[in-house]
Structure 1
């Protein structure tokens, strides 16, 4: 990542992969603003997910527009966002063609185990996680940086900083 220009980074992946924790750490280390895309979901979307009902493209349309507007107006941003489908990533890139995507990936088993230990999030249930894995169009040949979440959080943060060309803050 070129540290001489303002940066916009999307930390992406399925729920439970560590987008928020890694995104916050990256933002703090790189001096960027952090936003969790979940905070921009409509109350209807949140209620639907809390009821263990997957969102569809219609549900996500307004949310993606709000995220695209945020990217267009924030010069220095780390956004934690699932960005499960290529067309979602393409929509966000229209707001900034130089947008950097950092894909946090791991096995269903690893991520579902981590999700079961969370009690402070509306997204619940293996059914919802399975639907995200089913919808995920893994980024290939899109200039997306890939980081495995199989090691612990500190190692994932360090690997993410390295992928972005930044030294760990620790």
Structure 2
């Protein structure tokens, strides 16, 4: 059975969780929030305003790839909200299931900063946004993906993503 695996990516505050959960509702794909798979040590670092290092990320990314691969083996399609900021991180995610599509929610730092300031109960401080923007590597031509404009309403972003996934 063919399955589809989608990673909605972008910096913290871009709306990737909102878009990914909207895709899950529209497609009946199994949803995962990658942040929930971080070990406590990573969460503690981020909450303290410390950016994660690659050595912090590799085991976490491998676990996410395994999660998608396991769902693929079960015949279940997935959608995940995950920053996936660097090409090398996306390469690890792609190593799990047979194929992965990426949807990048990208745009103005000011729009994202405003959204981050308005949300409650999230451990990622606004102060880490600039380091995330500096880390973000755009999707490359050989990566299956779609780029969405963060300035659009979440419902519109979800609609565009679902339309692309269905046509893809």
TM-score, normalised to structure 1, is 0.90
Aligned to 1:60: 57
Aligned to 1:157: 158
Flag the structure with higher helix content.
Answer: 2
Superposed CA deviations along residues 59-83 of structure 1, whole A, max 9, x for unmatched, are: 1111011111111101311111000
Instruction: Tell me by how many angstroms 1:163 deviates.
Output: 2.0
Superposed CA deviations along residues 106-151 of structure 1, whole A, max 9, x for unmatched, are: 11111011100011211112x2011100111111212221111111
Assess if the C-alpha contact under 8 Å between 2:6 and 2:101 holds in 1. yes
Aligned to 1:99: 100
The counterpart of 1:10, out of the listed 7, 16, 22, is 7
Q: Given the alignment of the two structures, is residue 136 of structure 1 paired with residue 133 of structure 2, yes or no?
A: no
For structure 1, list consecutive stretches of 5 or more residues without a partner in the other structure.
none
- Mapping of 1:1-170 within 5 angstroms? 5-75=2-72, 76-125=77-126, 127-141=127-141, 142-165=143-166
Instruction: Tell me by how many angstroms 1:165 deviates.
Output: 2.6
| Worse-superposed segment, 88-97 or 35-44 | 88-97
Counterpart-to-counterpart distance in 2, 1:97 and 1:103: 20
Q: State the 4+ residue runs in structure 1 displaced beyond 3 angstroms.
A: none
| Worse-superposed segment, 26-35 or 149-158 | 149-158
Counterpart-to-counterpart distance in 1, 2:145 and 2:3: 18
Counterpart-to-counterpart distance in 1, 2:144 and 2:113: 27
**Pairwise CA RMSD:** 1.3
Aligned residue for 1:17, secondary structure, equals coil
Counterpart-to-counterpart distance in 1, 2:84 and 2:54: 12
Counterpart-to-counterpart distance in 1, 2:43 and 2:120: 16
User: How many aligned residue pairs are there?
Assistant: 162
